[in-house]
Amino acid sequence: MKQEICQSCGMPLKKDPQHGGSEKDGGKSKLYCSLCYNLGEFRQDMSLEEMMALVENVLVEKRIPRFIAKFLAKQTPKLERWREDR
């Protein structure tokens, strides 16, 4: 079974305290975590590069080795929010 992850930052949705962001109607978002998405809008106005740096830094703060954090952050452009073909 494929793990559901936030399509903005890559965090597993099961690790999100709210188990997902919210849509405009108050329903749960199936694509984005609560840290990235609230009431149908992204919480941060940031570029892909800024998100990649944020992801890397958060992972390093969680004691993930930097080389792994860099590798995981480089996966961010593949997420729905950042894909150019969407």
What tens digit of pLDDT does each residue of 63-74 get? 999 999 999 999
**Chain position carrying tokens 């944020």:** 54
In this structure, is residue 84 part of a structural domain?
no
What tens digit of pLDDT does each residue of 24-46 get? 999 999 999 999 999 999 999 99
In this structure, is residue 7 part of a structural domain?
no
Percent of the chain with pLDDT strictly greater than 70: 95
Question: In sequence order, what E strands does 2-73 have?
Answer: 37-38, 41-42
What does the alpha-carbon distance between residue 64 and residue 30 come to, in Å, rounded to a whole number?
A: 26
* Structure-block tokens of residue 33: 């975590």
In this structure, is residue 38 part of a structural domain?
yes
Q: Could you give the number of structural domains in the chain?
A: 1
In this structure, is residue 5 part of a structural domain?
no
What does the alpha-carbon distance between residue 4 and residue 11 come to, in Å, rounded to a whole number?
A: 9
Give pLDDT, residue 84: 76
pTM to 2 decimal places: 0.88
In this structure, is residue 36 part of a structural domain?
yes
In this structure, is residue 6 part of a structural domain?
no
